[in-house]
Amino acid sequence: MDSIVKELLEENVGKVIENEPLSKHTTIKIGGPADIFIEPNSVESIKKSIEIVKKHGIEWRAIGRGSNLLVSDKGIEGAVIKLGNGINHLEIEGTTLTVGAGYSVVSLAVQIARKGLSGLEFSSGIPGSIGGAVYMNAGAHGSDISKVLTKAHILFNDGSMEWLSNEEMEYSYRTSVLQKQRPGIVVEATFQLTEGDKAEISAVMKKNKEYRRDTQPWDLPCAGSIFRNPLPNYAGQLVEKSGLKGYSIGGAKISEMHGNFIVNAGNAKAQDVLDLIQYVKEKIYSLHGVKMETEVEIIGRM
């Protein structure tokens, strides 16, 4: 690993750390170490980092701000590339935005609201990055990324880069083409918004933020929604009907505020969360005959 780290540093790609605990980089504050942790300082540095890592035969994966992510206690083999502070540019031309993948979703919603631009009000409480939101078609309050995205700049596993249109992203509920047919990472995205009334936009965002604050456990580390909604049912309601709110295994606990959230109630391990997820799946299937699928992405050495 020393030779790879040396080469990355010589190329000045950004921050490079060996054996970095990923608990520092996930919203649930869980996760073992990455063999190599890279935080590139530009889009070009992302490409250069991947070129070097692949040349040495090392596996890699990208993360954003670490929401909707559960990293195993054993960590991640190979390199982890975090799209963060170096990939957080924002360009506004009229009602069109081009945003770096590392830009905070919440910060973006606030910034554009001040300019009277409408279309991202639904995202005002989503605790993640633009890259992750575009990758998984994040949504809330009856809307989602697919409603406003024009195109996304994608870095594919072979190192090639391409802009994909909204149609080419093949969006569906919390899913895009990047999770299945064409694995890749979002490095930036373009959105088409509309002009609106600043006061009205702010009022909607305030209402959405208050709803999240009143119904979701943001006072404790969590990864966001754990399960996909098995429509026409809702995951949180099924958990509540099953009497599972507050149920815990180790340091992992089902939130008493919202059944679709598992919180780190104190030194939780990834295995605690995985065991709790499995318990919920089995319980809900036995009581309601519904198969639950996880929305949170589970990665790392198992």
Any catalytic annotation for residue 225? yes
Pick the catalytic residue from 104, 118, 124, 225.
225
Any catalytic annotation for residue 11? no
Any catalytic annotation for residue 174? yes
Cα distance between residue 209 and residue 268, in whole Å:
27
Cα distance between residue 175 and residue 60, in whole Å:
21
Cα distance between residue 269 and residue 277, in whole Å:
13
Side chain identity at 135, as an amino acid letter?
Y
**CA–centroid distance for 189 within its chain:** 15
Contacts of 147 (CB under 8 A, 6+ apart): 119
Dihedral of the CA atoms 278, 283, 285, 290 (nearest 10)? -90
Pick the catalytic residue from 104, 174, 188, 255.
174
User: Which residues are known to be catalytic?
Assistant: 174, 225, 295
